[in-house]
Amino acid sequence: MLNKSHSCYGCSLFDGRSSCKWFTPYKLIPQDILLKGCKFYDQKVKNIKPTKLVRYIIKVFEGEFI
């Protein structure tokens, strides 16, 4: 489930510190982009079989877990 609102923190291209693996060599991500994500966003988890509680949490947080 890809969401309209996301950040780099949920992306498989994010190195976990402050760089993006989409660029070669890695580039630092500006703070405003880090918080909102970009068009190259690649979701880490592709398939989730959610329980009722997980569906509720995804709905409340619009798919973004921090």
Query: What pLDDT digit, counting tens, does each position of 3-41 carry?
Result: 455 788 878 888 888 899 888 888 898 888 888 888 888
pLDDT confidence of residue 42: 82
In the predicted model, what is the mean pLDDT of the chain?
Answer: 79
Contact of 14 with 41, CB cutoff 8 Å:
no
Q: How do the domains of the chain map onto residue ranges?
A: 8-60
pTM of model > 0.85: no
Residue type, 56: Y
**Which tokens hold the place of 55?**
């569906």
What span, in angstroms and rounded, lies between the C-alpha atoms of 54 and 57? 5
